[in-house]
Amino acid sequence: MKLNPFKPAGQAANDASPGHEPAMRVLDKAPRVQRRGFLRGSGLGAIGVVVLPAAPALSKEAARALTADQSFTHLGKHAGRTLVRMARDIYPHDKLPDKFYVQAEAPYDGLAKKDAALKKLLVEGLQDLDQRARKQHGTPYLQVKAESDRVALLRGIESTPFFKKIQGDLVTGLYNNKELWPLFGYEGSSWQKGGYLHRGFDDLDWL
């Protein structure tokens, strides 16, 4: 069978041709980035700022800073950006848009407002991380260019309560975010769809 080059492989494989068993129901894990949606999703629309269509596209870095900035009114932009950078370094999924990392870290801003001990842990933890980065690379953590250098800095603090808190919370903050599940090929709740009885529980075709 000749594959249609314009069809995603998953879809082509699902075509039932005469004489063939319908193939395995394969999910497309590619993120669907809608540029306009992405810009709007950064929160600008919500606060009434108009993004001019003629404006030059934001660089990836600028977009990341923007989303983090808006979510950290209490701890501040630098803390927000650093936490988001850390989150991506801890669980680096290159295909995930920043918004998932921002969503995982943003709750700290509100929590720190109410919880002095948490605020202290975060502020001091971030200061320590920046201090280590300055000592080694002459810049704060956020500006350390190479991922391997940032990871080495994180390895250095991996046993601290600060790091353990960030990493531990990320396990649910990130992987329990239902919005990102499709990107991992995971479909979540199934009872309302009648389970998988008629949706591929036994359609394996590659053995």
Partner 1 sequence: MTDQAKFSLDDDSVAVIIGSGAGGATLANELAQRGIKSVVLEAGKHYTQADFENDEWAMFNKISWLDKRISAGGWHHTQTYPNLPAWIVKGVGGSTVHWSGVALRFQEHDFHTRTTYGAVDGANVLDWPITLSELEPYYELAEKKMGVCGTKASGLPPMPPNNHYKVIEAGAKKVGYKNIVRPAASNSEPYDGRPGCMQLGFCMQGCKIGAKWSTLYTEVPRAQATGNMELRPECMVLQIEHDKSGRATGVLYVDGKGRKQLQKARIVCVAGNSIESPRLLLNSASSLFPNGLANSSGQVGRNYMNHATAAAVAIHKKPVYMYRGFDIAAVVADEVPLDTRRGFVGGYYLEGLAIHLPYTAAFMKPGGWGRDFASAMEMYDHMTCVWVCGEDLAREQNSITLHPTEKDQYGLPVPIVTKTYHENDDRITAHGLQQWRKLSEAVGATRVIDMPAYPASHNMGTNRMSEKAADGVVNRWGQTHDVKNLFVSDGSQFTSSSAANPTLTIVALAIRQAEYIASAMQRKEL
Give the interface with partner 1 as residue ranges (CB under 8 A): 24, 26-27, 29, 90-93, 151, 164, 167-168, 171-172, 174-176, 181, 184-191, 194-197, 199-204, 206-207
Residue 25: C-alpha distances to residues 2, 4, 21, 207 (Å): 19, 18, 12, 15
| Helix (H) or strand (E) segment spanning residue 162 | helix 161-175
> Between residues 53 and 188, which has the closer beta carbon with respect to partner 1?
188
* Residue 187: CB minimum distance to partner 1, A: 7
* Residue 153: CB minimum distance to partner 1, A: 13
* Residue 24: CB minimum distance to partner 1, A: 7
Give the integer Cα–Cα distance in Å for 205 and 148: 39
How far from chain centre, in Å, is Cα 169?
Answer: 14
Find all residues with CB under 8 Å of 165, minimum gap 6, and list them: 121, 125
> Between residues 23 and 44, which has the closer beta carbon with respect to partner 1?
23
> Between residues 29 and 120, which has the closer beta carbon with respect to partner 1?
29
